[in-house]
Amino acid sequence: MTIGWHFDNTYSKLSNSFKEDIKPTPVHDPELVILNEELASSLNLDFSKIDKKKLAEIFSGNSIPKETSTIAQAYAGHQFGHFTMLGDGRAVLLGEHVVNDNNRFDIQFKGSGRTSFSRGGDGRAALGPMLREYIISEAIYSLNIPTTRSLAVVKTGEKVVRENLLQGAILTRIASSHLRVGTFQYIAATQNIYDLNTLVDYTINRHYPEIKTSKTKVLDLLNLVMEKQCQLVINWIRVGFIHGVMNTDNMTISGETIDYGPCAFMDHYDPKTVFSSIDKFGRYAFSNQPPITKWNLARFAECLIPLIDKDEDTAITLATNLIDNFQNIYEDKWLNMMRDKLGLFGEDKNDKKLINDLFDWMKKNKADYTNTFCNLMGVNSDVVYKNDDFTNWKKEWKKRSEFNNTTQEKQSKLMQANNPTVIPRNHKVEEALTEAYKGNLDKMKKLLTILKNPYDNHSNIEEYQVPAPLSNKKYQTFCGT
């Protein structure tokens, strides 16, 4: 009865500065809720001969696979701008599962009990937020955006105390690693230069081996992480995704989306959109995600100063010049991404105005972000688009499209590749979670099936494509801790 685990745990071999050796806390009565069989298959794992009871034991941490070396990782973070020493307060890393000899994936339990980093927390997670992370992370993956993924969710058979008593759950999360900006902040705060060098070398070996022999590898690392994070936030903006809690401990060095707490997708376009219940001042609003990415990268750069150059002033100048270039890189990427969404080839000096005019119209008319681009592809014909200003804008867009020097078919293909026809609508996610909490996964499974092909022109799924009815009650999401 071989599942196919192949653990090789390099991170757990680092010194205790980086982690705590700890096992998941056993749970009372685990029950498997959902298993991502497609993901399991891509990891060369076969659970087909394991019964549900045994699967629940495995994914709750009651039965640990052999060759694991379970740890809680240490990290720090700027949370809403305030620096805190953190760490895995409710997560345990089982180890690194190696696929096809060279692809390495962290296997982590989220909600697996207290650690020394729990800071008074219960170390547990509730079923709703874990299923939410499962849905949204899989949707982000299908949207072709780098992300951690969800392998399984189990109920623990125990209650967790939040605003109310809730069903406890554990999520199994898969990541190329859980190295974060906050990991570097934690080690930098200890002022141990040997550990900082160790972390840099470990990160380069794991994620960026192409710069291993570079004489400027630390600066190269900063540059590569900036490129990855810039591209990540471009993709979030492309599909109207709002992460909701862009603290430095939620920013991976690999460039993957991580920690789906108070996240959501925007319905009607408003750059100031915030869904998080704790983001009172809009620090992590939709339009603030690019500048916050730059801010987080500046915190990463600060950690690396002692290793960039022996002369501190020189190191600061080099790092500052690099980070200051973020805006130029982002604006170029943003403009090209928006051209792709509008099916525009080449460059025209008026492209930026054309794009901003569209956003101005969308905001003024409370037009749906996703459906506006669908309308331009001929998919959505909502009454809001029967508007003289929008018709006039489309005339300008069609004039610009004539300069593409390519076929309409190629324009359509470019737009279809960049504009989803379906996203995880907030009200549909809530409907699915409400039913799942009652033990009925039908709505969740149907939603997951529809979200698997977000760029296809589906039929008979209109209820998944319309935004929630307008309401005086503001939609809010919560961290779940």
Determine the Cα–Cα distance for residues 258 and 296; give it in Å rounded to an integer.
15
Determine the Cα–Cα distance for residues 5 and 317; give it in Å rounded to an integer.
46
DSSP codes joined into one string, 430-459: HHHHHHHHTT--HHHHHHHHHHTSTTS--S
- Written as six digits, the tokens of 426 are 């907030």
Per the annotation, the verdict on 201 as an active-site residue is no
Determine the Cα–Cα distance for residues 436 and 267; give it in Å rounded to an integer.
24
Which listed residue (88, 106, 249, 368) is catalytic? Answer: 249
Say if strands 125-126 and 241-242 run parallel, antiparallel, or are unpaired. unpaired
- Written as six digits, the tokens of 253 are 């060095």
Catalytic residue list = 249
